[in-house]
Amino acid sequence: MLLLIRQPLALLGLFIVIGYFLLALGGPMLAPYSPTDQHFADTLQAPSTRYWFGTDQFGRDVFSRVIVGSQTIIVVATFATALSLFIGSLIGILAGYLGGWWDEALMRATDVMLAFPALILAMLIITMLGSDLVYLIITIAVVFSPGIARVIRSEVLSIKAMTYIKAAQALGCSPNHIILRHILPNSLGVILVEGSIYFGYAIFAAAGLGFLGLGVQPPSPDWGLQVNDGRNFLLTAPWVALFPALAISSLVVGVNLLAMGLSQVFGEHFVQ
């Protein structure tokens, strides 16, 4: 954490991310209007002192919808990242530590998953499951865990070759003990870095699926869905799409700056 403070860009990223988390936490309390209230006298109004970000085709306040919409994307991205880190680490550690047949089977399974463009696989799964917040989280986690598993596995392989693991094995420690007390703590840095990178991807995925109408259902505010709503008015009322689009971009910029900082702290090359 101390090292992070010495990097101004990473610190800026941290502030942006914390800012959006606070926004999501405050939600409706911070919004000047209800995100679903329709003001039919004020449809497609340009930004003004009354409606800071203007209004959409139903006269709903874009500013309030951007604020409340942060809840959806933050919740989905956070839980999806946590779940994919859990699944990915589990697969990566099992494959890396157990080796042999386990490694072969698990890695071929990730090969198959990675043979799909991520978005196509996510679209396929979510269509079959149905649009729901929980299914959205599960879908994103399933799509991203193979990539995480790969990285964790290679980290585990390099840790496994260390002398202290050999020593622990020679002392007769059980595999459970070695995995939980030696391998896992030493992989935490990589897991954290992967988590910060995939948090950005999860926001991409949540926004993209929302944009395609596969996320939360209207009239709940959702940034991706808002951008799609605004797509029909890009030439006449660009603010409907512009502000949620800026929100998505700035959040991911923040996440990526933070991820770059973290990967430098943990000595990883940040390659995307």
Residues lying near another protein in the complex (CB under 8 A) are found at 108, 111-113, 115-121, 123-125, 127-130, 200, 204, 207-208, 211-214, 227, 230-231, 234-236, 238, 241-242, 245, 248-249, 252-253, 255-257, 260, 269, 271-272
User: Min. distance of Cβ 116 from another protein in angstroms?
Assistant: 5
Pick 150 or 182: Cβ nearer another protein: 150
What burial letters (b/e) apply to 62-76, b meaning 16+ CB within 10 Å?
Answer: bbbbbbbbbbbbbbb
Q: Name which of 120 and 167 has its Cβ closer to another protein.
A: 120
**Does 219 sit behind a cis peptide bond, omega within 30 degrees of 0 on the bond before it?**
yes
Nearest-angstrom CA–CA distance, 44 and 50: 13
List residues bridging with 53 in a β-sheet.
none
Helical ranges in 161-238 per DSSP H:
163-170, 175-177, 184-211, 223-231
144, 198 Cβ separation under 8 angstroms: yes
Least Å distance, CB 164 to another protein, is 29
Closest CB to another protein among 193 and 227?
A: 227
In angstroms, give the least distance from the CB of 127 to another protein: 5
Least separation in angstroms between residue 111's CB and another protein is: 6
For another protein, give the closer residue by CB, 31 or 241: 241
**CA–CA separation, 108 and 102 (whole Å):** 10
